[in-house]
């Protein structure tokens, strides 16, 4: 089979198979709505609330991407500082680990109180806080483990530290960076939704989920989950696409 | 302290690495003199400090004691007039072979235009037998091919001083001999001063004007031989009685450096 065809058809087949199984099991066990909605229950919800789904998805999406963008900027900066200075690395590492260990579900209500009413700011902040850690760590590890042989190629020509960073260290860390970004993308998404669900009169798909819960519209809640999954897949593959462009060299031909 | 009249000069260079187990003395009052546009080969037992020597001459490291001179100036930091091929030929995986070879041109100010440099890169790749590999990635090349690409990278910017650390180590005998001849051709085209580290005695005699045998660690220059063969050599010259005798002397000196034989000339002196 053609390679690209398989890459599209294979996941499609699996999705259809899983949906069919799900539909079947709900029907076979005669599960009521509130225990398990079936895929066929979701379609009417999408049709009825399509405009809401579009608006809320957009809200969730842009705030996730904004938080992720901040995480990339600050994560890379912190990673650079830690990668180049051993002093900073040893000093910052335990703090970062401790910060990362705090369950973000506990931070969400605090942030929601601190910046009450500022939904966008809140949400972006949580998305950022939850996702910058893997980026900072991967960049710092990538930079601090750069083999001296690589550095010496340029150093022997009298190149400046900045040139060495720009031409060698940065491109060399890109594969690690993208590996971390894939993790961060999912994390940022979780952060956004945590905030959206918890803060009252929030925005985004999390708010739609919450209104489903309040009005006991269980299929709507499931429908939101699917919309979230779809957004997550889109974001993830955008990162994969960027990785191909900027770090495609790290992918070896298998044969 | 008088300025050096040689292109490369080491005066009583002593160096030790700091290790966890304490200082590891590597070089002990090593002195070498290399006149302009001449070719010096350094041989010596493994681990005696040959790569350390290249790092000192290129300015990547400074010696604990003694002086390193280049171009009549003390070496304190790396300089762009030097070309260096490392023992471990790292190429940047994210660049094509051509981009790798052209890397020094992005650092060094050179009168060559971009087009001229590219043309030169292709020419050099042809010379080392990598025609058609310019657009390949390093991961698609064999170890020996990478070594040859790194050789091209070291001379792309027409350095006055070329430092080669076992550049032909990963090559088969035939390719190696081809490249020896290529080195002679290159020198005829554009003169440069060369410091070559090798463990191949035939290579040292074929290429160099001067062969330095380093002693075991901590190393000094145990023996220096002027190679008295015509400037442009053919492989047959290696079988001339003169060359055979030189090879025998070098082999003996290496054994002394390894501590397997005592140096009878030294005993005679004592
Ligand atoms: N960065 C370093 N730190 C500590 N010790 C080192 C370092 N680099 C080299 N050495 C030690 O210094 C000695 C000389 O190393 P060097 O690489 O100069 O040897 P060499 O003559 O090039 O050997 P070879 O022929 O095997 O390449 C070795 O014993 C090695 O263990
Ligand atoms: Mg070595």
Closest-CA residue, ligand 1 atom 10, reads: B17
Of the ranges A68-72, A163-167, B225-229, the best mean pLDDT one: A68-72
- Residue B217 CB contacts under 8 Å (≥ 6 apart), including other chains: B25, B26, B45, B47, B48, B49
* Chain B hits for A157, Cβ within 8 Å: 78, 80, 82, 104, 107-108, 157
Please tell me which of the candidates B92, B93, B104 has its beta carbon nearest to residue A157: B104
Among A152, A142, A163, CA closest to A84: A142
CATH code, domain carrying A49? 1.10.3720.10
Read off the pTM.
Answer: 0.81
Whether residues A158 and B84 touch (CB distance < 8 A) is answered with: no
Please tell me which of the candidates B59, B90, B93 has its beta carbon nearest to residue A153: B90
Whether residues B78 and A153 touch (CB distance < 8 A) is answered with: no
The residue range of the domain holding A12 is 1-30
Report whether B219 contacts B48 (CB < 8 A). Answer: yes
Question: What distance in Å separates the CA atoms of residue B120 and residue A187, rounded to the nearest whole number?
Answer: 50
Whether residues A155 and B78 touch (CB distance < 8 A) is answered with: yes
Asked whether residue A130 is assigned to any structural domain, the reply reads yes
* Chain B hits for A152, Cβ within 8 Å: 60, 86
Q: Chain A: give the shortest CA distance to residue B62, in Å.
A: 13
Task: State the total domains in chain A.
Answer: 2
pLDDT on residue B268: 45
- How high is the ipTM of this complex? 0.83
**Residue range A39-57: average pLDDT?**
88
pLDDT on residue B270: 42
Q: What is the CATH number of domain B1-79+194-270?
A: 3.40.50.300
Question: What distance in Å separates the CA atoms of residue B175 and residue B107, rounded to the nearest whole number?
Answer: 31
Q: Chain B: give the shortest CA distance to residue A181, in Å.
A: 19
- Express each pLDDT in A79-113 by its tens digit: 999 988 889 989 998 998 998 888 888 888 888 88
Strand order in the sheet with B73-74: B22-34, B8-19, B65-70, B73-74
- In this structure, are A20 and A129 located in the same domain? no
Asked whether residue A35 is assigned to any structural domain, the reply reads no
- In this structure, are A7 and A112 located in the same domain? no
Asked whether residue A255 is assigned to any structural domain, the reply reads no
Question: What distance in Å separates the CA atoms of residue A92 and residue B268, rounded to the nearest whole number?
Answer: 64
Question: What distance in Å separates the CA atoms of residue B266 and residue B270, rounded to the nearest whole number?
Answer: 6
Per-domain residue ranges of chain B: 1-79+194-270
- Express each pLDDT in B107-157 by its tens digit: 988 888 999 999 999 999 999 999 999 999 999 998 889 999 999 999 999
Closest-CA residue, ligand 1 atom 17, reads: B51
Q: Give residue ranges with CB within 6 A of ligand 1.
A: B 17, 19, 24, 26, 46-52, 87, 217
Check CB contact of A159 with chain B, cutoff 8 Å.
Answer: yes
- Express each pLDDT in B208-250 by its tens digit: 999 999 988 888 888 898 988 877 788 888 888 888 998 999 9
- Express each pLDDT in A109-133 by its tens digit: 888 888 877 888 989 999 999 999 9
**Residue range A199-215: average pLDDT?**
84
- In this structure, are A26 and A104 located in the same domain? no
């Amino acid at each position: 089979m053609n390679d690209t065809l398989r890459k599209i058809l294979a996941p499609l087949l699996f999705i259809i198979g899983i949906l069919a199984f799900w539909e079947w099991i709900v029907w076979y066990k005669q599960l009521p709505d509130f225990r398990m909605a079936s895929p066929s229950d979701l379609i009417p919800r999408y049709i009825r609330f399509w405009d809401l789904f579009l608006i809320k998805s957009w809200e969730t999406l842009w705030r996730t991407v904004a938080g992720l963008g901040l995480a990339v900027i600050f994560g890379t900066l912190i990673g650079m500082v830690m990668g180049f200075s051993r002093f900073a690395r040893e000093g910052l590492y335990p703090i970062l680990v401790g910060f990362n260990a705090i369950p973000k579900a506990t931070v969400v209500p605090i942030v929601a109180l601190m910046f009450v009413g500022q939904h966008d700011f809140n949400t972006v902040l949580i998305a950022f806080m939850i996702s910058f850690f893997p980026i900072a760590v991967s960049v710092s590890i990538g930079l601090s483990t750069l083999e001296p042989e690589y550095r010496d190629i340029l150093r022997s020509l009298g190149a400046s530290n900045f040139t060495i960073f720009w031409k060698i260290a940065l491109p060399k860390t890109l594969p690690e960076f993208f590996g971390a970004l894939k993790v961060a993308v999912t994390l940022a998404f979780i952060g956004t939704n945590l905030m959206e669900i918890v803060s009252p009169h929030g925005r985004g798909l999390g708010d739609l989920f919450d209104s489903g819960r309040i009005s006991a519209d269980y299929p709507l809640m499931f429908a939101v989950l699917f919309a979230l999954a779809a957004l997550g897949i889109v974001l993830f593959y955008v990162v994969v696409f960027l990785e191909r462009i900027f770090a495609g060299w790290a992918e070896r031909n298998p044969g | 302290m008088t300025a050096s009249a040689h292109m490369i000069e080491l005066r009583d260079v002593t160096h030790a690495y700091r290790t966890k187990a304490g200082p590891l003395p590597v070089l002990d009052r090593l002195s070498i003199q290399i006149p302009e546009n001449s070719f010096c080969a350094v041989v010596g037992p493994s681990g005696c400090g040959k790569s350390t020597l290249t790092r000192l001459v290129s300015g990547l490291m400074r010696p604990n004691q003694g002086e390193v001179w280049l171009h009549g100036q003390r070496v304190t930091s790396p300089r762009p007039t030097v070309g260096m091929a490392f023992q471990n030929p790292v190429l940047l995986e994210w660049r094509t072979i051509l981009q790798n070879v052209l890397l020094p041109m992005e650092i060094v100010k050179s009168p060559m235009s971009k087009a001229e440099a590219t043309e030169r890169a292709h020419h050099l790749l042809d010379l080392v037998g990598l025609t058609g590999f310019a657009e390949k990635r390093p991961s698609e090349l064999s170890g020996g091919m990478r070594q040859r690409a790194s050789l091209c990278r070291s001379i792309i910017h027409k350095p006055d001083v070329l430092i080669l650390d076992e550049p032909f180590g990963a090559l088969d005998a035939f390719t190696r001999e081809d490249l020896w001849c290529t080195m002679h051709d290159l020198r005829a085209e554009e003169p440069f001063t060369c410091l070559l580290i090798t463990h191949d005695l035939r290579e040292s005699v074929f290429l160099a004007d001067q062969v330095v045998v380093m002693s075991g660690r901590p190393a000094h220059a145990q023996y220096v031989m002027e190679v008295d063969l015509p400037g442009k050599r053919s492989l047959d010259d290696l079988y001339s009685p003169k060359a055979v005798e030189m090879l025998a002397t070098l082999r003996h000196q290496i054994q002394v450096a390894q501590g397997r034989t005592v140096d009878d000339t030294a005993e005679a002196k004592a």
